[in-house]
Amino acid sequence: MDKSFTEIIRNILHKFKTELLDNGSIFTSEADFKYNLALKLSKEPEISNIVIEFPEKDKYVDLYCEYNKSRYYIELKYKTKKILINKCSQKIELKSHSAQNDNRYLLYRDIERLESFIENKDNAVGISLFLTNDENYWENNTPKSAINFPLCEKKTNLKNFLCEKCKKKKCNDKNRLCYLTRYGQEKKKSLKIKQAYNCNWTLLGNIKTNDDSKNIAFHYLLIEVKNKYRE
């Protein structure tokens, strides 16, 4: 039986664990992550037509490919806390990506985009993949301003699950997810997510570093976006 596409992605991530994390290394940037994922996909049997920055509906999706008669649209996020890694025989410091609230919002925006990309398409699937060593994302630590965009394991972003209103009449739409300031005003464009997605994080592995002898854990969140009622 053919592997599912998500199985292929998870197997590739496991290879990254063995090849990179176990040797004190990891991606230097989101672009580095994107390139290496595309390179691994190109070596998988029957995966074809791999395109980085594929144009779709006047936007661009990070990765596009075809497998087993289906089209896959992949959006990536890679956010790190400060860490020292080994790369190309050098010590490289990855800086901290702050703005965790904004990044939660941006991942939900990716899901909204993926739903739009695959809408009314046969055999089209979206994949949202978020990789991080920042425990704020997978632990139950969602600030009030981003409460409509939880990513922690202890919550599920059920449709209509709790959207806090920004005290405007136009926010009466229960499907509307608002990103609010501390004063209850909209900080960014509201989003609409059509379906429910579980936020199930997976431990990728620990990176062995030389700074203070720390072992830093990396987790990933993989969300599969399909057309409604489509198996």
pLDDT at 152: 79
**Coil, strand or helix: which one is 20?**
coil
Question: Mean pLDDT in the chain?
Answer: 84
Closest CA to 54 of 118, 143, 139: 118
First CA to last CA distance, the chain: 17
E-strand ranges in 182-229 read 186-192, 197-198, 201-208, 215-225
Percent of the chain with pLDDT over 90: 48
More confident residue, 225 or 141: 225
More confident residue, 50 or 185: 50
pLDDT at 169: 52
Most confident of 34-43, 93-102, 165-174, 206-215: 34-43
Return the bridge partners of 188, or none: 179
Domain ranges of the chain: 5-139+199-225
Report yes or no: 37 and 20 within 8 Å, Cβ to Cβ: no
Tokens of 79: 């956010």
pLDDT at 173: 61
Mind giving me the DSSP string for 93-160? EEPP---HHHHHHHHHHHHHHHHHHHTT-TTEEEEEEEEES-HHHHSS---GGGTTS--STT-EE-TT
More confident residue, 145 or 57: 57
Cα 72 from chain centre? 15
Cα atoms found within 13 Å of the Cα of residue 195, Cβ hemisphere only:
19
**Confidence tier at 97 by pLDDT (50, 70, 90):** confident
176 pLDDT higher than 90: no
